[in-house]
Structure 1
């Protein structure tokens, strides 16, 4: 399938913001990400879609500088991430991984305070600015009443919210999230995505739920076997043909005001 032609809404110049130029990542001789280009526009929310194994998580790690590219380059304000350096990159880009574990006994506030590390000198105590950033992040994530509680006693959804708060305490300009709604019930999925959509940051978020992606994302990038299959607005990208090609399922797509709504069809029945 050819990539839908997205309207030119004024992509940033290559020397501003976070930009992936034909990046690839090879592991054990296999291409996990294969020649993906993505130029992020300030303040937009970009959804990464694709089935399991399509390269979404790997692309996020390349954008964060956690993994080196095999070919291609990721730049931040025109400079390759290795030149920017890990500490400077961490001041700008915050990440929320799909699974986070620790054996260390930490309170929720201590977990959130980890987001301030890139802003502090080694061994220096937390400042009033750090404390205020942590408090505000806890409030935004709805965890103020859990601040003194052990992180290990939280539910899966609450742990994910704590990781969101940790990223917010980092005060990033770019926020990368790997399926942050996985462990949340419907109400908290919507609450979390409302929070993310309202942040004054540029966001890239990997999602499985196509309807949530249509509701909350300004632009979508669809991956399959590591390659870009489609890119554009939700209305341009989320078509029955693309959903069938990428996910192997039949669907109806209704264009309600504001965003498309996907209705999946039962296999073999020909009816919803």
Structure 2
């Protein structure tokens, strides 16, 4: 399949379909800010247990789509639903219990231990000013263990390496016990080993995951499905083998590439521009 057939225009679901749709869904969502259309008519459904890669150049609308799905931003048009109900109907607290997000950069001026950072993920499950319950403690312990941070639990978050800080943010998200996980370029500024370790962790989770990535080879290796944005529009959606073609890479990123197919996923080799005469 070439990229012209891989690209699927977003189509609006009927009200009956939207009401019945399980999981997290964006239906023809657009976002306009200061007379600029940042995202235009995007439709996406996250299926249980699936890892979806969100691709596109800087400024293509990836972060905006993630924030719309998380309920941080409201769409200018279209609707985001969770199990068929709009996010305002679900409510902020219930949405926060269900959907966890990991931003590109996490910062805090407060001196917190790793355990305290991870425990922030339990806030949606607790009443205001209430003490942590045994359930909260077990969820934090499990998240620390799953991310390999148990031995760092008492350490200051500020003393962690970049890869460890990202793992701590993943652990915070896991402590929420979400069913959907949204990650905005979590491999940025990590060395190759930590990129692979983090993505191995993420794709091993039994939840629906949407992850914005710049590295096309990582997306091909780890994602079940890809959604490609350019200037706020969906230009392609499908499996990595269907989507990652030389013509699409040229059209979206403006670079030449060879694409070969290892067992299981495509491999992209970028080509240098020909020398200027």
TM-score range, shorter chain: over 0.9
Task: Give yes or no for the alignment of 1:30 onto 2:36.
Answer: yes
- Aligned residue for 1:22, secondary structure, equals strand
Q: After TM superposition, give the deviation of residue 57 of structure 1 in Å.
A: 0.5
Q: Is the 8 A contact 2:7 2:235 kept in 1?
A: no
Of 246, 262, 272, the match for 2:268: 262
Q: Which residue of 2 aligns with 1:87?
A: 93
Q: Which residue of 2 aligns with 1:100?
A: 106
CA deviation vs aligned residue, 1:187-242 (integer Å, no higher than 9, x gap): 11111111111101000000000000001000000000010010000000000000
Q: Is the 8 A contact 2:7 2:234 kept in 1?
A: no
Q: Is the 8 A contact 1:160 1:183 kept in 2?
A: no
* Between 172-181 and 127-136, the greater mean CA deviation after superposition: 127-136
Q: Which residue of 2 aligns with 1:9?
A: none
- Aligned residue for 1:2, secondary structure, equals helix
CA distance in 2, matches of 1:58, 1:269: 37
Q: Name structure 1 gaps, 5 residues minimum.
A: 7-12
CA distance in 1, matches of 2:5, 2:108: 41
Q: Is the 8 A contact 1:3 1:231 kept in 2?
A: no
| Residue-pair matches, total | 265
Q: Which residue of 1 aligns with 2:58?
A: 52
Q: Which residue of 2 aligns with 1:10?
A: none
CA deviation vs aligned residue, 1:221-272 (integer Å, no higher than 9, x gap): 00000100100000000000000000011000001110000011111159xx
Q: Which residue of 2 aligns with 1:65?
A: 71
Of 152, 169, 183, the match for 1:163: 169
Q: Name structure 2 gaps, 5 residues minimum.
A: 9-16
Q: After TM superposition, give the deviation of residue 3 of structure 1 in Å.
A: 4.8
CA distance in 2, matches of 1:5, 1:80: 26
* Structure 2 length-normalised TM: 0.92
Q: Which residue of 1 aligns with 2:6?
A: 4
- Aligned residue for 1:189, secondary structure, equals helix
CA distance in 1, matches of 2:140, 2:274: 52
Consecutive aligned runs of 4 or more in structure 1 exceeding 4 Å deviation: none
Of 179, 182, 186, the match for 1:180: 186
- Aligned residue for 1:115, secondary structure, equals helix
Task: Give yes or no for the alignment of 1:241 onto 2:241.
Answer: no
CA distance in 1, matches of 2:238, 2:64: 21
* Structure 1 length-normalised TM: 0.94
